A = this chain, B = another copy of it.
Amino acid sequence: MSGRGRRPDPGLESRVHGAALELYGEVGWAGFTIDAVARRARVGKAAMYNRWESKDKLIADALTSWLSKSLPPSRTGPLRKNLLDMATDILDSYLEPKGLVYLRAQVEARVYPELFGQALETFQRERIRRGRAIVLAAIERGELPGGTSPALVLDALAGILTNHFLSTPTSQIPTLLEHKTKYVEETVDFVLSAVGYRAPGP
């Protein structure tokens, strides 16, 4: 330390990213400002503008960093267990403070493709790649018929959960949580029966 100027703040970047995502989840792009992120992260404006030249760069940065950490793990083992874990992760992700970020960014990518498109497409491509591997491995093991469409299986699982979460009145969210395990099983079994799943032998 030189004694002159400020000490570098090693936690700054992750604190700012966290604040940026939380704010974005609450208000969306139209309410997103560097100043509001600075206040929420308790970071001086000078430090903010020094690091991020625009709010476009800030949100793209925060999204990319968050999404790269949000990728589902590469899973192995029986298909039904994999899908149960995946479904639980999806439902849980909606219920954390940053839960609306992904949905908002998907909606706003339609309005501002240049802003959200790249971060989302990179994430979605990789997520589909990992989901595809799970479905293809299940076909190889004989748990699913050959020719099963991985995209349809993954769309169905994520879609049913997303739609259900969004259609549940806020006052009913605690009830949804209470029955989470049962609801996740029902959803996974619905998807599995659509594609002619055969449970592996003992």
Contacts and interface: CB of A to CB of B under 8 A. Distances in A.
A158 to B, nearest CB: 5
Contact of A162 (B28, B162, B195): B162
Closest 7 CB pairs of A and B: A30-B31, A194-B194, A159-B159, A159-B163, A30-B30, A106-B166, A28-B28
Contacts of A194: 190-191, 193-194
A121 B166 CA distance: 11
Contact of A161 (B103, B159, B166): B159
A169 interface: yes
A182 B200 CA distance: 32
A55 to B, nearest CB: 13
A35 interface: no
Contacts of A30: 27-32
